[in-house]
Amino acid sequence: MRLLIDMNLTPRWVTLLEAHGHEAVHWSKSGPSDAKDSEICEYARQNKYVVMTNDLDFPQILAHTGDAGPSIILMRGQPLAPEFRTDSLLGALEACARELAQGAILTLDWTKQPRARLLPLKRGS
């Protein structure tokens, strides 16, 4: 899976994800640190990345635009460090790979099963 790690998550995720066979890049290596979330979304869509973030603006952008991508992995709860969340994230990536490939928002709050909502989102949902 191709993953674009948002600025609000540590770049340490890149090394961990690559060690498990995923292609990963941190936004700090792809674009300006002051880029708008909509710019990051567009970059991810054009380059076929799944955005990994803990920023609620990304699902809101997709709800507003009605776009079917990019897929978003929304990480909620603390801590968000790879040292604490690796197994849960890797399990969710495997369990929801089909939905993410199709276009989805995958929410991980670490207390329950991952929840994937297929895109495009309907306005008001």
Tens-digit pLDDT profile for the chain (125 aa)? 999 999 999 999 999 999 999 999 999 999 999 999 999 999 999 999 999 999 999 999 999 989 999 999 999 988 888 988 989 999 999 999 999 999 999 999 877 788 899 999 876 54
Q: Name the one residue in this structure whose structure tokens are 């498990």.
A: 20
Q: What is the pTM of this model?
A: 0.93
Instruction: Write down the pLDDT at residue 122.
Output: 72
Q: What is the pLDDT of residue 30?
A: 94
Nearest to 27 by CA among 3, 54, 57, 55: 3
Alpha carbons within 13 A on the beta-carbon side of 122: 1
**Nearest CA among 120, 117, 80 for reference residue 99:** 117
